[in-house]
Amino acid sequence: MDVTITAGPAFAMGTVTLPPGGSVRVEAGAMAMTRGDISVETSAQGGFFKGIRRALGGESFFVNDYSTRTGGQVGVAATLPGDMTMVSLDGTTPLLVQSGSWSASDPSVDVDSKWGGGKSFFSGEGLILLRCTGTGDLLLASYGAIIASDLAAGETMTLDTGHVVAFDETVQYSVRKAGSWKSTLLGGEGLVTDFTGPGRVWLQTRSSLDLIDWIKKVNPQQRSNS
């Protein structure tokens, strides 16, 4: 996938250049621009996100396949301000991606939202994991900047759950409370995830969950109803 990332790291947009006959799969609503001979087909069939329901709102999760006969460009941007990065899969190690971070990928990459292993990963957080396999490139987006880390075998990194972007399937993970009941209630920390290598982990420097909590606190309607 030929991608040029501009306006980062605060307001990144990924411009995918498609060769004649090329195509790219994009998250519904993520398209910011098209240029040239571009057509689009929306689908939730063929096993890709089939029957998936978002944890928030319950609507179906659709994707858009953009294709071209003579060549063109598709600009992709995330809902929240932040960075973008491209990750390549070589067909050997699957990548687990926080659902809100997947923006686009080659059609050769299979994104499985029905994967059972991540059902409880973000328990109570309204997020799910996507299991990406195959050979090709993915375009990941974040809220804030993206930082990638390589973990050696047995090395552990702990992230607040809201800061997780993606990680290799070779990385073992477990979700737990940040500490005692006192730190959970008074310290502002909820769930954290312990990642143990070997493998790669991507984090975002801001948490959309924290943003939602902040909006609730400063919302005049929330204060007037309390």
Instruction: Kindly report, residue by residue over 68-108, the tens digit of the pLDDT.
Output: 999 999 999 999 999 999 999 999 999 999 888 999 999 99
Would the pLDDT of 175 be above 60? yes
What size, in residues, is the chain?
A: 226
More confident residue, 53 or 6: 6
Domain-wise residue ranges, the chain: 2-215
Top-tier CATH class for 2-215: alpha beta
Q: In this structure, which amino acid lies at residue 23?
A: S
By mean pLDDT, which of 19-28, 177-186, 197-206 is the weakest? 177-186
Among all chains, which residue has been given the structure tokens 């477990």? 174
More confident residue, 97 or 226: 97
Share of the chain above pLDDT 90, in %: 58
By mean pLDDT, which of 7-16, 30-39, 44-53, 83-92 is the weakest? 44-53
User: What is the predicted pLDDT for the residue at 67?
Assistant: 97
Instruction: Using pLDDT thresholds of 50, 70 and 90, give the confidence band for residue 60.
Output: very low
